Amino acid sequence: MSNSSAFPDWHGTTILAVRKDGKTVVAGDGQVSMGQTIVKGTAKKVRRLAGGKVIAGFAGSTADAFTLIERLEAKLEQYPDQLARACVDLAKDWRTDRYLRKLEAMLLVADKDQIFTVTGVGDVLEPEHGVAAIGSGGNYALAAARALSDVPGIDAEAVARRAMGIAAEICVYTNGELTVEVV
């Protein structure tokens, strides 16, 4: 029996980042579920970092995600205004450090110019179309945001809110209680 199977089956995150017309938005839902039970509906999974210049959203184990966000904050202090370098450095540490390697979370990190998905296998991925998503409803939010991003007259925040609403209608582990941050 693996160690992870000793823990409850936690689900319930959708994090979406949208960059459009010089504006970047990160939105996250508030649902945390254990199995088929909603444990909390108003969790805050999106945070501002680096004096408000960077936004990070997380999916996965909350304690693990907070550990990663603290590490990311330290990297952002070490490399101010260099989001890509901070993310790559975090991913290197995450991949090589024995303690960090066991963390089960993902980060979606953005500033006004860039969006990155950072994973524990060493990936730092920048989306091609200015839209990225993680979590159980991430693919639904991603597809909706990609479609909505091409609609004229709809800004990044409206795209994010509408796409998250669509994800919440499809994914049972996603709700409509949003935290939305704009940079």
**At 53, which amino acid appears?**
K
Question: Judging by beta carbons within 10 Å of its beta carbon (0-12, 13-18, 19+), is residue 125 exposed, middle or buried?
Answer: middle
Cα distance between the two ends of the chain: 44
CA-to-CA dists, residue 163 to 59, 129, 144, angstroms: 17, 15, 5
**Which phi and psi (to 5°) does residue 137 adopt?**
-105, 15
Question: Is residue 117 flagged as an active site residue?
Answer: no
Pairwise CA distance, residues 58 & 46, whole Å: 7
Which residue type is seen at 35? Answer: G
The total number of residues shown for the chain amounts to 183
Task: Give the Å distances, CA to CA, from 104 to 68, 150, 171, 182.
Answer: 10, 34, 21, 26
From the list 13, 14, 24, 117, the catalytic residue is 13
Q: How far apart are CA 132 and CA 147, in angstroms?
A: 13
Catalytic machinery residues: 13
